[in-house]
């Protein structure tokens, strides 16, 4: 397998897993924030909005200190593994999914939920009805989150270490190859990365148009 | 009717999405974790000057072919490598900063140190050499640069090269912490980027030969080597195992085997041959035989002065029981 292809596959695999993992908690959080009214809800929404712009190097550093052998979770030995990058990226993109999905749910006509309720839907069925309406927002959230994960550098570098064939992803390899003067490889990888991001965005627009 | 449709939509899609997400992500993580547990690997924190030349890729390939163990090199620079090792995040370190290594040994963070290779740093600068430092001694060249305030790019990243540079400034009579000003720039980045900055700024800098040759040969920079002679420019690479007594999970046995491989004639030959075909000259010179046979007494005395502690490449109390490495 060529070096380039291997890096691209590892990249997509790591960031794809991060996206799926993040959905496991992001969807329930967004549903709760979007559908329920409780004390502290506004603060929580503001918190997730504020976290949208969290610098990846800061998150990378915090997780490095936690996952490092000298840190509280050091015993797991996760530093410099794909798992560490996946955890970091999943946390990084949580605010993106939560914020976009919450506002998509909020934007849905509240009448739908009421209608569903008056027609005898359970609370859960009604929630799901709203989420169905919010699916365009959901697609946007997923694509934006994946693009952020696959493009970020700080977490992959600090938690992955850029080990060849293991944690070497597109962003870390562009950084390394540029520093080492291997511009051809940098440019190729940058082109692949841009193509992936643009293609996903294009696909998303197609899906949302219906 | 409506409710049923909505409900089914939800169950089929949303719960489905969550389920697929759960299955896929857990399967993916489980796959990584199984790979991680079963794979034979050795984490080596290292300096960018070795990593960026590609020498370590050659060593990793040959080592895997021989022992089946993957060498995972993490390029961090010498200072950072040793810090990571102290935290237990690497099994071995491959660095080039004797003063930091000595400190590392004294803290009992690691041992079984072996000097594996050497080469020389060079002061590089614009080809027309506006400050006329060519063929001066290294210290005189720095003094001239400071005197006329010619632009100097410092690594500023606590790497081995940066430590060397700070020592040189000190020996030349300057305090490197007070130098930062309009002609003394700190790049805070690796050798490659620092060379690029020096190239753009028509500035001088201290470079390791490996990275310099790679950049020069690929026409990425047109800086020339201006000063490359002198004991002060000696660059010595050594390998150490991280002390397992502080971090019992470390792969100490493989770390020792890695050290043995590097000092073996096979390992030393890889170092000696590397770069000959690509650059027309070796980038690193093997040190083991030189030190053992004392084939070049002057050079050996330079290495001893610069990179030996208590007259030994590794004083006996830091050998971690690996006496056979020193026979």
Q: What is the DSSP string of A59-70?
A: HHHHHHHHHSTT
User: Mind giving me the DSSP string for B24-68?
Assistant: HHHHHHHHHHHHHHHS-EEEEEE-HHHHTTTHHHHHHHHHHHHH-
Q: How far apart are CA A104 and CA A107, in angstroms?
A: 5
Are A69 and B75 within 8 A, CB to CB?
Answer: no
Residues 177-196 of B with CB under 8 A from A: 189-190, 192-193
Q: How far apart are CA A48 and CA A45, in angstroms?
A: 5
This prediction has a pTM of: 0.86
Does CATH place domain A3-209 in 1.10.3720.10? yes
Alpha carbon B199 to chain centroid distance?
22
Give the model's pLDDT for residue A97: 96
Q: How many CB pairs under 8 A join A and B?
A: 130
Domains (range + CATH), chain B: 41-119+234-326 (3.40.190.10), 120-233 (3.40.190.10)
Instruction: Tell me the nearest-neighbour CA distance from A162 into chain B, angstroms.
Output: 7
- DSSP H/E element including A20: helix A3-35
Q: Are B116 and B287 contacting, i.e. CB atoms less than 8 angstroms apart?
A: yes
Give the model's pLDDT for residue B12: 66
Residue B5 has pLDDT above 70, yes or no: no
Q: In angstroms, what CA-CA distances link B158 with B141, B143, B155, B186, B211?
A: 22, 22, 8, 11, 17
Q: What are B50-67's pLDDT values in tens digits?
A: 888 889 999 999 999 999
Give the model's pLDDT for residue A210: 58
Instruction: Tell me the nearest-neighbour CA distance from B308 into chain A, angstroms.
Output: 30
Instruction: Tell me the nearest-neighbour CA distance from A92 into chain B, angstroms.
Output: 16
Q: What are B145-187's pLDDT values in tens digits?
A: 999 999 999 998 888 899 999 999 999 999 888 887 789 999 9
Residues 59-98 of A with CB under 8 A from B: 68-71, 74, 77, 79-83, 86
**In 3-state terms, what secondary structure has residue A119?**
coil
Band (pLDDT 50/70/90 cuts) for residue B188 is confident
Are A24 and B28 within 8 A, CB to CB?
Answer: no
Segment B146-149 long-range contacts (CB within 8 Å, at least 24 positions apart): B146/B172, B146/B174, B146/B179, B149/B182, B149/B183
Q: How far apart are CA A205 and CA A199, in angstroms?
A: 10
Are B6 and A135 within 8 A, CB to CB?
Answer: no
Q: In angstroms, what CA-CA distances link B214 with B59, B94, B160, B170?
A: 18, 20, 19, 29
Give the model's pLDDT for residue B145: 94
Give the model's pLDDT for residue B3: 37
Reading chain A (210 residues) residue by residue, the pLDDT tens digits are 588 999 999 999 999 999 999 999 999 899 889 878 889 999 999 999 999 999 999 999 999 999 998 889 988 889 999 999 999 999 999 999 999 999 888 887 777 777 777 777 777 777 666 666 777 888 899 999 999 999 999 999 999 988 988 899 999 999 988 888 888 999 999 999 999 999 999 988 887 775
Give the model's pLDDT for residue A132: 67
Interface test with A, best of B3, B8, B63 (most A CBs within 10 A): B3
CB-CB neighbours of B69 under 10 Å: 18
Identify which of B14, B36, B87 has the shortest CB distance to residue A81. Answer: B36
* Residue bearing the bigger pLDDT, A132 or B201: B201
Instruction: Tell me the nearest-neighbour CA distance from A14 into chain B, angstroms.
Output: 9
Using the Cβ of B37 and the Cβ atoms of chain A, whether some distance falls under 8 Å is answered with no
ipTM associated with this complex: 0.82
Q: Are B239 and B97 contacting, i.e. CB atoms less than 8 angstroms apart?
A: no
Band (pLDDT 50/70/90 cuts) for residue B38 is low
Band (pLDDT 50/70/90 cuts) for residue B6 is very low
Residue B9 has pLDDT above 70, yes or no: no
Bridge partners of residue B199, in order along the sequence: none
Band (pLDDT 50/70/90 cuts) for residue B304 is very high
Q: How far apart are CA A95 and CA A117, in angstroms?
A: 30
Give the model's pLDDT for residue A1: 55
- How much is the average pLDDT of B119-141? 93
Q: Are A189 and A180 contacting, i.e. CB atoms less than 8 angstroms apart?
A: no
Using the Cβ of B31 and the Cβ atoms of chain A, whether some distance falls under 8 Å is answered with no
Residue B34 has pLDDT above 70, yes or no: yes
Using the Cβ of A132 and the Cβ atoms of chain B, whether some distance falls under 8 Å is answered with yes
Q: Are B63 and B261 contacting, i.e. CB atoms less than 8 angstroms apart?
A: yes
Bridge partners of residue B46, in order along the sequence: B75, B94
Each domain of chain A, given as residue ranges in start order, spans: 3-209
């Amino acid at each position: 397998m060529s070096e380039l292809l291997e890096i691209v596959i590892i990249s997509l695999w790591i960031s794809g897993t991060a996206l799926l993992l993040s959905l496991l908690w992001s969807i329930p959080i967004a549903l709760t924030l979007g559908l329920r009214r409780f004390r502290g809800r506004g603060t929580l929404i503001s918190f997730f909005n504020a976290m949208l712009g969290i610098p990846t190097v800061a998150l990378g550093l915090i997780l490095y200190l936690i996952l490092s052998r000298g840190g509280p979770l050091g015993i797991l030995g996760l530093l410099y593994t794909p798992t560490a990058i996946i955890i970091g990226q999943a946390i990084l993109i949580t605010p993106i999914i939560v914020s976009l999905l919450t506002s998509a749910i909020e934007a849905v006509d509240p009448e739908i939920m009421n209608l569903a309720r008056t027609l005898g839907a359970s609370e859960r069925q009604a929630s799901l009805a709203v989420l169905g309406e919010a699916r365009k927002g959901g697609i946007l959230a997923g694509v934006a989150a994946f693009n952020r994960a696959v493009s970020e550098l700080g977490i992959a570098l600090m938690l992955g270490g850029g080990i060849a064939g293991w944690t070497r992803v597109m962003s870390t390899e562009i950084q390394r190859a540029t520093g080492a003067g291997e511009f051809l490889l940098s440019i190729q990888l940058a082109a692949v990365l841009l193509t992936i991001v643009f293609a996903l965005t294009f696909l998303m627009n197609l899906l949302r148009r219906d | 009717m409506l409710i049923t449709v909505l409900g089914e939509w939800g169950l089929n899609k949303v719960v489905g999405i969550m389920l697929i997400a759960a299955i896929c992500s857990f399967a993916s993580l489980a796959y990584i974790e199984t790979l991680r547990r079963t794979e034979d690997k050795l984490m080596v924190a290292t300096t960018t000057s070795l990593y960026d030349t590609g020498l370590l890729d050659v060593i990793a390939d040959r080592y895997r072919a021989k022992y089946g163990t993957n060498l995972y090199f993490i390029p961090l620079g010498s200072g950072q490598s040793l810090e990571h090792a102290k935290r237990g995040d690497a099994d071995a370190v491959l660095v080039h900063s004797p003063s930091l290594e000595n400190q590392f040994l004294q803290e009992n963070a690691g041992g079984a140190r072996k000097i594996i290779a050497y080469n020389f740093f060079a002061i590089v600068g614009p080809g027309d050499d506006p400050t006329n430092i060519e063929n001066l001694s290294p210290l005189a060249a720095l003094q001239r640069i400071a005197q006329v305030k010619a632009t100097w790019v410092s690594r500023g990243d606590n790497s081995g090269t940066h430590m060397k540079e700070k020592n040189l400034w000190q020996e030349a009579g300057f305090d490197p912490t007070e130098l930062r000003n309009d002609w003394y720039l700190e790049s805070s980045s690796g050798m490659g980027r620092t060379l690029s900055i020096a190239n753009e700024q028509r500035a001088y800098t201290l470079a390791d030969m490996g990275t310099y040759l790679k950049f020069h040969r690929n026409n990425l920079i047109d800086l020339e080597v201006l000063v490359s002679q002198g004991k002060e420019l000696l660059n010595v690479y050594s390998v150490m195992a991280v002390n397992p007594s502080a971090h019992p999970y470390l792969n100490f046995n493989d770390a020792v085997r890695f050290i043995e491989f590097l000092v073996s004639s096979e390992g030393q030959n890889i170092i000696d041959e590397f770069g000959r075909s690509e650059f027309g000259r070796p980038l690193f010179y093997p040190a083991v035989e030189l030190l053992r046979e004392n084939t070049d007494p002057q050079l050996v005395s330079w290495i001893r002065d610069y990179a030996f502690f208590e007259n030994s490449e590794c004083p006996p109390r830091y050998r971690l029981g690996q006496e056979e490495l020193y026979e």
